[in-house]
Amino acid sequence: MLVVWLVAVVKAATREPDITEAVRTCERDVPAYCASNTCPQFCGTFVGTANKKRCSADCVATKRCAVKANVASQNIPGNEALDAQNREQLIRCIAQTRDPNFTKTGMTREDTPWRLVQTPSFKKAIQPPRSRRPS
């Protein structure tokens, strides 16, 4: 009886989370990571101390770091690159949480840990102002 229970515990501990668990985990982890890493990096490129401070003050999970749908009315003006970054990290986080060894997806694109992924718009947004070039 003890062996059966131990096998059940080990299986439960090693099983991959279902979509609901993965979404719940990532909807918590991505905004938290944003607030402590991504958003300060984004705000650090703003010109002017007042702009940097104002932006940094909003680097919390419920403001600049809230994962939003791609709907213009929900976005903070000027926050589009950070919103796109958060959406991409959320998608990657869910995929990696559900398939950490990338055996089911078969996609090599997702082998980059979600915390290290940077969208093209985010990369451009965090460039120092003097190195930005007009399109």
| Burial status of residue 46 (CB atoms within 10 A of its CB: 0-12, 13-18, 19 or more) | middle
Mean pLDDT value across residues 101-124: 79
Predicted confidence band of residue 105 (pLDDT cuts 50, 70, 90) = low
Model confidence, pTM: 0.76
More confident residue, 25 or 17: 25
pLDDT-based confidence at residue 36 (cuts at 50, 70, 90): very high
The angle formed by the CA atoms of residues 109, 119 and 53, to the nearest 5 degrees, is 145
Q: Strands, DSSP E only, in the chain?
A: none
pLDDT grade for 74, boundaries at 50, 70 and 90:
low
75 vs 4, higher pLDDT: 75
